[in-house]
Amino acid sequence: MYEHRRHGLLPLRAFLLRFASHLGVSSLVIAGSLAIGTIGYHGLARQDWTDAFLNASMILSGMGPVGELGGPAGKLFAAFYALYSGLVLIVVTGILLAPILHRVLHRLHLDQEG
């Protein structure tokens, strides 16, 4: 997927297309995670769709829950979804930073080799 260190620096247009593909994958991960959270809060925590979407969005963004949770199943779901959301943050950050950091390191290696 990425060019070898012996190859030249990727042209800017190709790099932007690569970054756009990483942005697309990140968006799919976030949308899927938001869907999982919304469905889970609706089904297990007995919240209406709007409150379920709000809670899933707040947890996924790291802000915290906003409503009452119904029953032990809802509370367990909220706990595991919060842990999952922390991992999603790390994964999405890695997906987005990978092409940028690769380009910077590739550029540095080109400068060293002369």
Neighbours of 74 (CB within 10 A): 21
Tracing tokens 């940028």 back to the chain, one arrives at: 100
The residue that leads in pLDDT, 36 or 4, is 36
Is the CA virtual torsion 89, 92, 93, 94 positive or negative? positive
Average pLDDT over residues 7-27: 92
Q: Is 31 helix (H, G, I), strand (E, B) or coil?
A: helix
On whether the CB atoms of residues 92 and 67 are closer than 8 A, the answer is: no
Residue range 20-36, pLDDT digits in tens: 999 999 999 999 999 99
Evaluate if residue 44 carries a pLDDT over 90.
yes
pLDDT of residue 113: 58
For residues 10 and 17, what is the distance between their CA atoms, to the nearest angstrom?
Answer: 11
Q: Which residues of 43-73 are buried (b: 16+ CB within 10 A; e: fewer)?
A: ebbebeeebbbbbbebbbeeeebebebeeee
The whole-number pLDDT of residue 23 equals: 97
Can you give the residue ranges of every domain in the chain?
18-108
pLDDT at 114 > cutoff 60: no
Which pLDDT tens digit goes with each residue over 55-108?
999 999 988 888 788 789 999 999 999 999 999 999 999 999 999 999 898 888
| CA contacts within 13 A on the Cβ side of 68 | 2
According to the model, what pLDDT value does residue 77 have?
A: 95
